[in-house]
């Protein structure tokens, strides 16, 4: 399995999408939007003591932001409360979870205070230092306002120097405090919620709400509340709640972030704006990751993943030297079995952009996609090994996924419509009688007559007790012994004796019939076809050998040759072998709608013909699968009924029939 895509993602700060949006101007809300947001915030307040929400699907992926904090991207969808087609009012809250049941934590909501008129800005801005775009208290404007004398300017410059020095010191203190918080050695003393955000124009066209947040290590409760502002009062508010644990961050250990299983990974022509970015947390720079709703794929799909390599060691030029290997293993209850190894990826001086520099906070993101067409249905695990050649360390990551059948792939898994050859099909009374008549000479000896009678009556054990015969009859007696060996299941010895019988001038027609049957039992269809064709050329009736040849050609995928052998007899419901052969050729030719009435007529005549029953199930399923997209086959219910009946009778392919039923929702 070859790697299908390889992407290197470079951006300065994962936190920018959250931080920049947090620095935007105070939003202007309509009265309806404000009241809806107020209702959502109140509903989240009431949900605080409630248990975690059930029936919600929301994968969470944790990455590392440029300042060392955790960047958490998530998707939320709730089957019991489908999202409206239009915009919704969205509110996201991260609250600190008490460490013990008796502990209480009082954290204020900046958004709630803003809605109550208690603060100007609903989003948190830095309390220390200067936010981007803000001017410091001292500067050119302050100097000009107080005059421009030398002494005034000098004093102001001194004050500015003191302020810069104080700002640098405060920044260093904040950085040290931040590192201690991120490493879990100290908690920030703040009584505001760790994270809040809201959006009054969230579009949910994807069927899920996608957002991101940044936070330090700790145990949290994540709330996502939403409501449709266009709905008639009272507004229905939906709240989803879950626990979230973020481990202490390390700056030394090589790590792999959460592995994002994606439906696709694309490259955008330009990045989203800061405001747009809030609704696209899985778009990192120019790389647009579309997270998968689940980890179940069909064989026609491909699996794509994206992840971050954290704490790679830089070289003197700031470049890493990272090698990433991928393996796919099949997971069964008792073991893992490797089924594919993908092409390794390299992140080093030769593959990264010239301006990439780990020392400047540039992260390493890897993306990989691989087709699943070669994988059988089952459970799998993608294993990732990341090796840092500079530090000499390695780390691993993994994600599980499942490959299931689609209607088309499950149809392709069906066994050949050419029936597997069975020993008894060449031992029917009619075939034995035809073979014996061809072998019987005009005036057989008494011993040979006994042997011929035993063969015709199917008394094969007695046939193995050979009585001496004349030399002229030795070829016939050898052929009869070979038929007996075939009948008791010794195909190899039978084939040897049949070849000897040909050398002794036994009638070639019946000998070739059984030689082909012995070769078919050995799985040697090419030799079987040659022998059966020689039997036809030697005068054996077409009706006795043609069904065998048709099945053999179908097993080999030679449909045209099989079709050339068919006669009008294949439509005779009384002739089971001919009917099955004719129907099988039609199914193999994609003409299952013509095969269905033939098989139905055969089963009406003989309901216990299980081979015909399976062919009917196969033909009906093929007719359901091959209808044009967007239409429903009229054979859905007939197929379901036939499949259930076949399963009830424990047909040979009952398990596959059950899979077919499930894949069409029956």
Q: Last residue of some domain: 503, 522, 541?
A: 522
* Helix (H/G/I), strand (E/B), else coil: 567: coil
Structural domain of 651:
406-417+558-666
Residue 592 and residue 611 in one domain: yes
Residue 72 and residue 16 in one domain: yes
Q: Last residue of some domain: 404, 438, 467?
A: 404
Pairing relationship of beta strands 70-78 and 260-267 according to DSSP bridges: unpaired
Q: Residue 449: how many CA atoms within 13 Å on its side-chain side?
A: 5
Q: Which of 473, 52, 483 is nearest to 241 (CA)?
A: 52
Q: Last residue of some domain: 350, 370, 404?
A: 404
β-sheet bridge partners, residue 290: 264
In a domain, 179, yes or no: no
In a domain, 306, yes or no: yes
Residue 413 and residue 436 in one domain: no
Q: Which of 641, 638, 578, 639 is nearest to 612 (CA)?
A: 578
In a domain, 503, yes or no: yes
Please give the pLDDT value at position 160. 44
Q: Which of 591, 597, 600 is nearest to 623 (CA)?
A: 591
Please give the pLDDT value at position 124. 54
β-sheet bridge partners, residue 57: 77
In a domain, 140, yes or no: no
Sheet holding 237-246, edge to edge: 195-202, 88-96, 218-227, 237-246
Residue 66 and residue 201 in one domain: yes
Scored b (16 or more CB within 10 A) or e, 69-89 reads bbbbbbbbbbeeeebeeebbb
In a domain, 536, yes or no: no
How many domains, the chain?
3
Residue 453 and residue 599 in one domain: no
Residue 207 and residue 344 in one domain: yes
Q: Residue 395: how many CA atoms within 13 Å on its side-chain side?
A: 17
In a domain, 345, yes or no: yes
Largest CA distance in the chain: 144
Residue 254 and residue 369 in one domain: yes
β-sheet bridge partners, residue 393: 388
Phi, psi dihedrals of residue 234, rounded to the nearest 5°: -75, 145
The parts of the chain modelled with pLDDT lower than 50 are 1-24, 125-161, 163
Contact 94, 108 (CB under 8 A): no
Please give the pLDDT value at position 129. 33
In a domain, 582, yes or no: yes
Residue 572 and residue 661 in one domain: yes
Residue 464 and residue 392 in one domain: no
The DSSP line for 97-124 is: PPSSTT-----B-HHHHHHTTS-S-SS-
In a domain, 299, yes or no: yes
Tally Cβ neighbours within 10 Å of residue 136: 12
β-sheet bridge partners, residue 78: 56
Residue 236 and residue 336 in one domain: yes
Residue 491 and residue 637 in one domain: no
Please give the pLDDT value at position 21. 42
Phi, psi dihedrals of residue 103, rounded to the nearest 5°: -80, 140
Between CA 584 and CA 533 the distance in angstroms is 20
Residue 500 and residue 382 in one domain: no
Please give the pLDDT value at position 173. 60
Contact 9, 287 (CB under 8 A): yes
pLDDT tens track for 4-48: 333 333 333 344 444 444 444 567 889 999 999 999 999 999 998
Contact 293, 357 (CB under 8 A): no
């Amino acid at each position: 399995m070859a790697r299908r895509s390889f992407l290197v993602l470079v951006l300065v700060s994962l936190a920018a999408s959250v931080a920049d949006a947090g620095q935007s101007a105070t939003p202007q809300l309509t009265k309806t939007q404000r009241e809806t947001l107020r209702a959502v915030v109140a509903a989240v307040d009431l949900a605080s003591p409630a248990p975690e929400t059930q029936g919600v699907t929301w994968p969470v992926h944790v990455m590392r932001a440029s300042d060392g904090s955790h960047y958490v991207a998530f998707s939320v969808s709730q089957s019991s409360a489908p999202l409206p087609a239009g915009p919704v009012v969205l509110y996201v809250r991260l609250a600190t979870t008490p460490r013990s049941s008796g502990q209480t934590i009082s954290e204020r909501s900046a958004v709630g205070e803003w809605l109550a008129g208690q603060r100007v800005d609903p989003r948190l801005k830095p309390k220390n230092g200067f936010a981007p775009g803000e001017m410091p208290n001292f500067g050119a404007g302050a100097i000009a306002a107080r005059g421009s004398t030398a002494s005034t300017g000098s004093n102001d410059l001194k004050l500015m120097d003191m302020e810069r020095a104080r700002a640098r010191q405060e920044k260093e203190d904040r950085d040290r405090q931040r590192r201690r918080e991120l490493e879990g050695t100290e908690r920030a003393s703040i009584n505001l919620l760790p994270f809040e955000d809201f959006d009054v124009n969230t579009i949910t066209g994807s069927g899920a709400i996608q957002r991101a947040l940044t936070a330090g290590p700790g145990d949290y409760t994540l709330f996502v509340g939403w409501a449709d502002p266009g709905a008639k009062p009272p507004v229905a508010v939906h709240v989803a709640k879950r626990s979230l644990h973020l481990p202490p961050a390390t700056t030394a250990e090589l790590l792999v972030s959460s592995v994002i299983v994606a439906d696709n990974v694309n490259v955008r022509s330009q990045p989203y704006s800061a405001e747009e970015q809030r609704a696209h947390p899985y778009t990192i720079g120019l790389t647009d990751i579309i997270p998968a709703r689940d980890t179940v794929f069909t064989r026609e799909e491909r699996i794509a993943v994206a992840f971050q390599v954290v704490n790679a060691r830089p070289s003197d030029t700031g470049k890493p030297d990272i090698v990433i290997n991928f393996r796919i293993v099949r997971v069964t209850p008792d073991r893992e079995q490797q089924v594919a190894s993908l092409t390794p990826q390299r992140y080093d001086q030769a593959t990264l952009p010239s301006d990439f520099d780990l020392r400047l906070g540039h992260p390493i993101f890897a993306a990989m996609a691989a087709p699943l067409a070669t994988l059988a249905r089952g459970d799998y695990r993608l294993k990732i090994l990341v090796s840092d050649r500079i530090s000499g360390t390695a780390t691993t990551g993994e994600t599980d996924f499942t490959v299931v059948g689609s209607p088309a792939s499950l149809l392709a898994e069906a066994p050949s419509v050419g029936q597997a050859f069975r020993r008894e099909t060449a031992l029917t009374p009619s075939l034995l009688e035809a073979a014996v008549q061809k072998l019987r000479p005009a005036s057989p000896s008494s011993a040979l007559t006994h042997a011929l009678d035993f063969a015709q009556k199917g008394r094969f054990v007695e046939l193995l007790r050979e009585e001496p015969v004349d030399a002229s009859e030795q070829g016939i007696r050898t052929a009869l012994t070979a038929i007996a060996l075939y009948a008791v299941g010794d195909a190899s010895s039978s084939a040897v004796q049949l070849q000897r019988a040909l050398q002794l001038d036994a009638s070639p027609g019946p000998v070739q019939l059984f030689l082909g049957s012995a070769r078919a039992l050995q799985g040697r269809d090419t030799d079987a076809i040659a022998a059966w064709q020689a039997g036809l050329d030697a005068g054996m009736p077409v009706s006795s050998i043609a069904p065998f040849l048709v099945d053999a050609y179908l097993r080999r995928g030679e449909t045209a040759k099989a079709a050339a052998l068919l006669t009008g007899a294949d439509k005779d419901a009384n002739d089971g072998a001919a009917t099955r052969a004719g129907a099988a050729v039609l199914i193999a030719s994609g003409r299952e709608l013509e095969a269905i009435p033939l098989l139905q007529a055969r089963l009406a005549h003989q309901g216990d013909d299980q081979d015909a029953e399976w062919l009917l199930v196969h033909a009906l399923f093929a007719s359901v699968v091959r209808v044009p997209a967007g239409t429903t086959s009229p054979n859905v219910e007939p197929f379901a009924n036939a499949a259930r009946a076949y399963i009830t009778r424990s047909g040979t392919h009952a398990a596959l029939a059950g899979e077919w039923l499930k894949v069409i929702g029956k």
